[in-house]
Structures are given as structure tokens and as C-alpha cells.
Amino acid sequence: ARGGTTAFLGTTVSADRSRLKNALQIAAQYRRRRDPAGAKMLGVHLEGPYLNPEKKGAHDPDKLKLPDLGELQGLLAGTGDLVRMVTLAPEMPGSFELIAFLARSGVKAALGHSAAGNDILVGARAAGLSHGTHMFNAMGEFRHREPGTVGYLLQMPEITADVIADGVHVHPAAINMLVTLKGMDKVALITDAIRAAGLPDGCYELGGREVYVRAGEARLADGTLAGSTLTMNRAVGYMVRAVGATMEQAVQMASLNPARVLGIDDLYGRLETGFMASITVLDRDFGVIAIFVEGEKVI
């Protein structure tokens, strides 16, 4: 909450089944007891392990695996609405089955860590794929003779996308292009923050791997970006100052648009009667003045 967030999805990295199951149990307990001084956990985003090894990013390659419908069904069994999103690579064998299952189950099926081409994306969309995770990062690059994953997503208006607006992951011109081509209503801001967010530079852990934070940038020993230390108030500020968005546009991309992605925009994302009173108050420099979570002042 100190970083301007009132609600969030706790996100896992690729791990074996037992660790993911344990993470879901801990997340369920946390969501039930609710931190009175923090943001509300709306649910969990499973990022992996069904990703393309060629686009693994900071995920441990030894933890990646081929899509397994039975395993995913087992992970989600008995969790209710805890898991709200699953990111996978639709080009991996068996992915379409998982996408269709997620869509039937009311879970957002998202593309990420993928090199999928047009034919795959068209099929994945038909199966129920509807979102792109951290746009541009760990995706098949755009080329003029082969648009790649990025190019195809940019021209598929029915698929929403999120982006890390921190000045490290994506150039501001690329973010501006994303918003221009997709439409402002289809783009959500995310932080992709790891546990080091809000803490000093140093060595931290992500999925069993050491992450080094220097000058606020989180990287593996080989220099690979490993999440971020971004906070949402800074993301909004970056959109206004570096990308050229209006304050109203940046706020919408940090509030209403994410709620739309998750299908909860009937309760979250607006300051209107009947909506949750989850409010972030910022000063002119985008510093956090106050935070209200569902009507309760936590900062």
C-alpha cells in the first residue's frame, strides 16, 4: 500500500507442483486474514511453469515444463476463485487445452514468455486467450517481415495487455505505441515487483535464484531482468512524465483497466456510488499521501 497499490494479484514464478500448491495455500490464508495495514490480495496470478524456454526471462529453466492439463486442474482444485490469471506460452504443445479449461473456469488465460506467431495466436484466441503479460518483455520481437508475437498482439484489439512502465523494461516510445495501437482502454499498468520493492539495493531471492538490485534495477547475475522494484505511484508518474499520458489516462490504466482485465470493474476502478472505496491520494510529485482500502484508511 505504501507504493500506491490498493489491490493486487500475488504472482508466482515457475516452480514444481508441490511448491506451487504450497504457495496457493499460503496465499489463501493471507487473503482470508487480510492485512489491516496493507493492500487487498484479490487472488493469484500463476506465471508459469508452462512457458517457452527460449523466452524464459528470469524463470529457472529447470522448472519449466510442457503444459499439463491434469496438473493444472489439480493445482486449481479446491481453490475457489483464488487463481485469477495464468500466463503461459500458447505455442507449447497442449496449451490450447489449458487455455480452453481456464476460459471455462473463469480464469484469465494470458500469453507471456512466448514466441508465438500469428497462426498460433489466432488459434489461442479462439480457445479463450484474452490477455498479454508484460508486453514486449520475453516476447517474440517485431520485425518488418515477421511481426512476431509483439506485432500480432498489437493488431489484435480483442486481446488486452499490461506493461511495466519503469523506464527499464520498455522504452517510453514503445509504451506510447502500445497505447496508440491497442487503445488506451486496453492497456493496464503493472509493477512486476518482487520482494525487494521498497527495500535497499542488495541481494534477494526469486524462485530460488539470486537477484541483485542495483540502483533499483533487479537482475540475475548474468544481467537478465528479474522483475522490478517499481511501485504503482511511480508507474503512474512515469506514464505522465516520460510517456506523455494525461493524469486521467495514467490513473485509468492503473485502476479501471486492470479491473476490466479481471472482470471486476463492476466493483473496482471508479470513484462512484456502489464501488469499493479503494483510493490512492497522490501529491503533485506522485508521492503517496493517503491510501484507503475498501473504505478503511491504511496510510
CB 69 within 8 A of CB 95: no
CB hemisphere CA count around 123 (13 angstroms)? 15
Q: What is the pLDDT of residues 247-264, one digit of tens each?
A: 999 999 999 999 999 999
What is the sign, positive or negative, of the torsion defined by CA atoms of 16, 19, 25, 31? negative
Q: Cα–Cα distances in Å, from 115 out to 136, 149, 150, 160, 205?
A: 11, 6, 9, 17, 27
Q: What is the C-alpha separation between 2 and 13, in angstroms, rounded?
A: 24
Q: Which of residues 33 and 162 earns the better pLDDT score?
A: 162
Residue type at 223? G
The dihedral over CA atoms of 135, 140, 141, 147, expressed in degrees to the nearest 10, equals: -100
Global pTM value: 0.96
Q: What is the pLDDT of residues 29-54, one digit of tens each?
A: 999 987 888 999 999 999 999 999 99
Looking at the predicted structure, is the pLDDT value of residue 13 above 90?
Answer: yes
How confident is the model at residue 36, as a pLDDT? Answer: 80
- Residues classed as catalytic: 192
Structural domains of the chain, ranges and CATH numbers in brackets:
7-193+230-273 (3.20.20.140)
The dihedral over CA atoms of 84, 90, 96, 100, expressed in degrees to the nearest 10, equals: 20
How confident is the model at residue 35, as a pLDDT? Answer: 80
